[in-house]
Each structure stands twice: as structure tokens, then as C-alpha cells.
Amino acid sequence: TIPHFYVHSSANAERLIARRSASADAPVVWDAFFVHAAARALEKFERMGFRFENDRLSPSNSDAIGVAVDSDGELSVIALPAPGGKTPEVLSGEIRAAVEKLRSGDADARRLQATRFTITNLGSTGIESFTAIVNPPEAAILAIGKVGPVAVVVDGRVVPQDRVSLTLSADHRVVNGKYAAEFLQAIVRELETL
């Protein structure tokens, strides 16, 4: 029932890879970077966090960003509250702990929690890019593809560069294409300057 539209971009992932490999204990989980970037972008593009419920548009009453997780063939969304002020390293620890609780069968972990935006990532499966379905009553969802080397033109030369594909699905009743495109580019900037 949601009138979806989609915008696609990619980001230079070389800084993410470097930061991930510099982690002392365990590599930062990929989703932590995308949650962090989306949270920062949402501060400037508040309408992306609105909800369309009962034929009414309203700001979300949650500051959490959701991360889609596959657990025993079932899709769940874990909620990460107040991610904007947290580093990817802190978010990584929260994601690992929430996924562990979910997969252990913790009843509280399976309880649906309100989020204002969702991240879904199929990069670990080797999928380059995909389009996701908005999780109602949210206005948008960000689909992440695999991180890997592609040929890009830098200063007139073709060089290999590690990049990640990003596809934003949005509800046209809440935002228009230009607003969504600017929001996605804000996420790209956040990822490339981490």
C-alpha cells in the first residue's frame, strides 16, 4: 500500500575498511557505519524520520534506528536507540549484543520496538545492490550491498577503489525524489568522512 520510489548511489568504502581493520578487539560490524551515517543525516533531514500512520503524517516518537537481522530464517529488526551521538565502535558492540540476544531466543529481543528508519544489509551474501521494502509506518529504508573493488575514474585515470552500493526506498507520500536524493548523498558524505 506504500507508493515506493528508489534512489541509488555508492560510497567510497576505503575509510570504512581502514577503520574496521584498526579495531582493537573485533572488527566493527558493517551495519554500525551505516547506522551512524544515517543517524547523522537524519539530523539534517528530519522528514525522513516521519511516519505515515492512519492516513496521517507525523514525526516519529522514536530516536532509534532499526537494523534488519535474519535469525533462523525469520526477519527481525533490532532497535538502536539514540545512535547519533555514538561512535561506530560503540554501535558495533550494541549490534553484536542485540543480535546475540535475538539468536539466543530472548523473548524481549523479539518484541517489536519503534524505530524511525531501518537499515538492511545483504552485502555478506555477495549481493551488489538491491531494493528493499519500506517497513511501515516508517518513511524509508536503506539497502546496503557488498563492499568491494570497482573501477572508478580518479583524475582522468581508471583505478580500483573499494565501494559500497546504497539504495534508498522511500514513501512518496512523505518525501519527494529530490529530498530523498539529498538525504542519500548526506549519508554518502558521512560514510566518506568517518
87-113 confidence digits (pLDDT tens): 999 999 999 999 999 888 877 767 778
By annotation, the residues acting in catalysis are 172
Cα–Cα distance between 53 and 33 in angstroms, integer?
29
pTM score = 0.94
Contact predicate 32/88, CB 8 Å: yes
pLDDT category at 168 given cuts 50, 70, 90 is very high
pLDDT tens across 172-188, in order? Answer: 999 999 999 999 999 99
Q: What is the pLDDT of residue 165?
A: 97
Cβ-Cβ contacts under 8 Å for 165 (sequence gap 6 or more)? 8, 10, 128, 129, 144, 145, 146
Calculate mean pLDDT across residues 150-163: 95
pLDDT reported for residue 106 = 76
